[in-house]
Structure formats: structure tokens, C-alpha cells
Amino acid sequence: MSKTITIDSKMIPFQEGQTIMEAATAAGVYIPHLCHHPEFTPHGSCKLCTVNVNGRGCTACTYPAIDGQEILNETKELNDDRRKITQMLFVEGNHLCPGCEKSGNCQLQAVGYYLNMLDNHFAHFFARRDLDASHPDVLIDRNRCIFCTLCVRASREKDGKDVFAISGRGINKQLVFNSESGQLKDTGLGVNDQAAHICPTGAILIKRTGFTVPIGERRFDHNDIAETGLEQEHSDHG
């Protein structure tokens, strides 16, 4: 007899060893997230995927699926908290969506739309963050970094290079590079590395490719992230 969990009254089968996120995705149930990627070790840093498991808040990307779990995902309370987290991510960085090359392909922006985020609510930090354009093929705009660590994990686990890291705390936290000079050009990052393409925002951009896909024809322009995100997760697994 197969093992199952229940998400919002929907019975979901799962395989031993799967997380709640993995089981939900396989069943076509979207749980909002930014730091999760099916190819890399779960990190649980963004907290957007927090669900209610038998009355307790747990991050779906790290918490194992266990037979008989009763899980709430789409509730007003959880989505209100997710909206606040997303608002904080916007004000902690310097996100200018109308002028960003990633607009329409940005997961942060798409999550904001999905959660019906209509304003930033909190006062902007206006953090001072630098750009690094030293690399011949890759631009780093730290203004858009949300510290999801996807590039860190991709570089370490997929590319085998350990190019990126997160340094500092609070307002002084920033994305740093593993080179003596501290510049991206002096790392081993290649333009085809997965770490160069994994960023959910516009913090890591490939040079000379901006606006190749016109506004209006981008990933989230016609479909919300619940639909498009699940399609991407399934293709990543395939």
C-alpha cells in the first residue's frame, strides 16, 4: 500500500525519502519558494515554503514526507506571512523591476504577483551594494541578490568550483567570490556553468544577452509561477 500525505485535503502519494516539496511538486501542487531547486541540497533559507504540518510550521523543502501527515499550504495566514517575507526581500535589496533585464523571467517578481503583493509595505533599506562587471561574460549586480545561495550550491555541487559564498550579516551581508582579488574575473566561473544561470532574480546576468527575449514573451508574462514553476521543476527532474 502506497504511503500518502494530505495537502489542503488533497491526498498526495510519496516515495520514501522525499520531502514535502518533492512530493507536492510531483503531484502538481505548487508551494511558493525561492531558494529551492530540485537538483541541489535543500537550504530552507527563504522560508517562503513554510507549511503547517500537523499544527506545526515547517519548511516544505527540508521536511520529510511522512505517512499520514495533514498539511496546510494555501491558507490566508501562511500567504500573509509569505507576502511579508517577499516585501522584506524587495526592501532589503534595490529592485527596480521596470528597468531590470530579468523582468518577466524573475522568480521574486513572479512570487510577488502570485501572492498579490501590491506594495512594499516596509521602508526601503537602500543598501549600498556594488556591481562587478570584471568578468568577460558574466555581470554581478548585488543590488538584486536575495541570498538564496542557489549560485553557491550550484557552483559547489554541480560545477565543482566553489566560486560563490555569502559573507557578513544583516545590512552588511553580501555575495562574495572565491578569488584573491575578490573580483569575479579571477575566479574559475565559466559562462556555461550552472551557477551562472541559476539565479532566480537579476543578480547574475550573462553579458550581451539582455532583452534577447522581448517583454511580453517571457516566462511569467502570460502564466503565473504556480503553473510555470511546476513545469520547470518537472523539466529539471526529467
pLDDT confidence band for 106 (50 / 70 / 90):
very high
| Cα 88 to Cα 111: distance, rounded to the nearest angstrom | 13
- The H or E element spanning position 177 is strand 174-177
pLDDT in tens, 120-135: 999 999 988 999 999 9
Q: CA gyration radius for the chain?
A: 18
Mean pLDDT of 28-44: 95
Q: Please determine, looking at this structure, whether the domain spanning 98-224 carries the CATH number 3.40.50.1100.
A: no
Asked if 3-80 and 98-224 have one fold, the answer is: no
Sign of the C-alpha dihedral computed for residues 6, 7, 12 and 18 taken in this order: negative
Q: What is the pLDDT of residues 197-227, one digit of tens each?
A: 999 999 999 999 988 999 899 999 999 999 8
Instruction: Provide the pLDDT for residue 233.
Output: 60
Helix (H, G, I), strand (E, B) or coil at 194: helix
For the chain, give every domain's residue range. 3-80, 98-224
Q: Which residues of 218-236 are buried (b: 16+ CB within 10 A; e: fewer)?
A: bbbeeeebbebbbebbeee
Predicted TM-score (pTM) of this structure: 0.92
Residue whose C-alpha cell is 500518502 = 4
CATH number of 3-80: 3.10.20.740
CB 229 within 8 A of CB 191: no
Flag whether pLDDT at 99 surpasses 50. yes
CB 74 within 8 A of CB 8: yes
Residues 78, 47: contact at Cβ < 8 Å? no
Query: What are 135-180's pLDDT values in tens digits?
Result: 999 999 999 999 999 999 999 999 999 999 999 988 889 999 999 9
Separation between Cα atoms, residue 33 and residue 18, nearest integer Å: 17
How much is the pLDDT for 80?
Answer: 98
How far does CA 125 lie from the centroid of its chain?
21
Q: What's the pLDDT score for residue 170? A: 84
